[in-house]
Chains A and B, each alone.
Chain A
Amino acid sequence: MEDEKIVSLYWQRDESAIRETEEKYDRYLTKIAYNILNNHEDSRESVNDTYLAAWNSMPPHRPSVLSTYLAKITRRISIDIFRGRNRQKRQGSEYALSLSELGDCVSGGNTTEEIVNVKLLADAIGIYLRTLPEDARTLFIGRYYFLDSLKEAAAYCGMTESKAKSLLHRTRLGLKEYLIKEGFDL
């Protein structure tokens, strides 16, 4: 079923909207959740919570690209679940790996004293990413938003893992320089 029709079902408060969403996007959302949580049970919980969040948010939202809208929800829920875990359960996920990689970009300062406007930061990152060649941008978003493994991201970007690793490193450094130039306190 087309996204537009599924969204209409949500707006009509027709419960078949969830069934249609699950049929079309369950595997897609589970992959995103698993990249973060590395655990089937927790991934299932995250995806189910996504369906509930979708039901509660449409209306008023009417996304034009349902996959992107749902992916954002799943990503946020999964990261929240991850952060609630103990240290042992955090190991092994692509999200955990990405945290160490993105450490290139920030200082990890004392957040109790720093106030970071996350929305402004997101806007700045978006502007920076738009300056990049498409391959570099796709690789960065694939690795750090969708949290695909380096191997997977390199594959759909059509490059070797070593090239992808090198490109991501340069992109992270470029992002850091850009954020400093834009006045962010890293």
Chain B
Amino acid sequence: MTVEQLHDALGMLPSDLIAETDGRRSQGAKPVIQWRRWVSMAACILLILGCTVVFTQKIAPGMGGATESAADCAPQEPAVLMEESCAEAPAAPADNALTDNAPADAYPEMDEALLCDFFQTPGDAEKAPEFTLIRSREELESYWESYGEFFDFARMRTACEPYDKAWFESQDMLLIPVLPYSADTVWEITAFTALNENGWEWAVAYAFHSPSGAEEVSFHLLTGVAKGLIAPEDDVLTVADTVNSTVDGEPFNE
């Protein structure tokens, strides 16, 4: 058999297969997404998001050791970029869905500056990309339009008003939907390291409280990164095991 014969055979493929592909071609370029398989809390695979050394130094002392090692592992250049961007980043919007909904005593004490913004977005977290890099207010609006049938973004839309055109001039936004957890779960960013020359390894830790009867609901996390730091066409964003999470106040490791 020759490749020419193989090509001739391809020319005789069923029309429905050709039409399916042609339909995708006519839709044009799609945003590049990195799909990863989520593993439930019980399977212990968590997202790891990076933050700057400045952020990690402010984390509660008990969690400092592992984040320092994560920051130490990061190549100097990206760590410097992140320090600069975080120093310049505006404070997170005061309106935080977490504090709006949670019982008053449900969360460990934590510096608010460490918290990434996160919002309850009831829906199906598996319907959205694992990571989405948002580079403008228009792209954020487009994300809501694209996935509006799978999530209730009402709360997030209201809370994201401060993330306007001016905010996006110096930052890009990393948006991460997370599987349903108890509504009293607290999220924070612990480390941000370079995976390799064209990728980033993100780490996020969380403080999870055993099911308290609160309704499980999907969330969207967001954090700002230095403008242009992540090249969506080339960089690979990966999931890595996280450390320094807690469950009911106790350290949790896989």
Question: Are B21 and A141 interface neighbours, CB within 8 A?
Answer: yes
Name the contact of B13 in the complex, choosing from A65, A116, A129, A142 (C-beta under 8 A): A129
Give complex CA distance A142, B10 in Å: 11
In the complex, what residues of B have CB within 8 A of residue A184's CB? 1
Which of B9, B10, B14, B22 contacts A67 (CB under 8 A)? B22
How many whole Å from A147's CB to the nearest CB in chain B? 9
Across the interface, which residues of B come within 8 angstroms of A79, CB to CB? 7-8, 11
> Is B37 on the interface with A (CB-CB < 8 A)?
no
Q: Which residue of B lies closest to A108 (CB)?
A: B2
Contacts of A186 in B (CB 8 A): 1
Q: For chain A, residues 58 to 114, give those with C-beta under 8 angstroms from any C-beta of chain B.
A: 63, 65, 67-69, 71-72, 75-76, 79, 83, 95, 98-99, 102-103, 105-109, 111, 114
Let me know if A14 is at the binding interface, CB within 8 A: no
**A157 interface residue per 8 A CB criterion:** yes
Quick one: given A109-B1, A157-B30, are A130 and B17 in contact (CB under 8 Å)? Answer: yes
Q: Contact partner of B7 among A98, A109, A185, CB < 8 A?
A: A98
Q: Which residues of A contact B31 (CB under 8 A)?
A: 158
A138-B20, A184-B1 as given contacts; A156 in contact with B27, CB under 8 Å: yes
Interface residues of A in 118-136 (CB under 8 A from B): 118-119, 121-122, 125-126, 129-130, 134
Residues on A with C-beta less than 8 A from B15 are 63, 65, 68-69, 72
**Which A residues lie within 8 Å of B166 (CB)?**
none
**CB closest residue in chain A, given B7:** A79
CA distance A69 to B12 in the complex (A): 11
Min Cβ gap A2→B in Å is 16
Kindly state the separation between the CA atoms of A40 and B6 in the bound complex, as whole angstroms.
Answer: 26
Query: What is the size, in residues, of chain B's interface with A at 8 Å between Cβ atoms?
Result: 33
Q: Smallest distance from the beta carbon of B139 to chain A beta carbons, Å?
A: 15
**Do the beta carbons of B1 and A159 come within 8 Å of each other?**
no
Q: Is the CB of B25 within 8 A of A146?
A: yes
Q: A100 to B46, alpha carbons, bound, how many Å?
A: 41
Verify B11–A105 contact, CB threshold 8 A: no
Shortest Cβ distance from A184 into B: residue: B1
Contact A137–B9 (Cβ < 8 Å): no
Q: From residue 21 to 74 of chain A, which have CB atoms closer than 8 A to chain B?
A: 63, 65, 67-69, 71-72
* Interface positions of B (Cβ within 8 A of A): 1-15, 17-22, 24-25, 27-33, 233-234, 236
A-B contact pairs, 10 of them (CB 8 A): A67-B22, A71-B18, A72-B18, A99-B4, A114-B1, A141-B20, A155-B28, A155-B30, A156-B25, A156-B27
Give the 7 A-B residue pairs with the shortest CB-CB distance, closest first: A158-B30, A122-B12, A155-B29, A121-B9, A141-B21, A122-B9, A102-B3
Instruction: Supply 18 further A-B pairs (C-beta < 8 A) apart from A102-B3, A141-B17.
Output: A65-B15, A65-B19, A69-B15, A95-B7, A106-B2, A106-B3, A109-B2, A111-B2, A121-B1, A130-B17, A142-B21, A145-B18, A146-B21, A155-B29, A156-B24, A156-B29, A158-B33, A160-B32
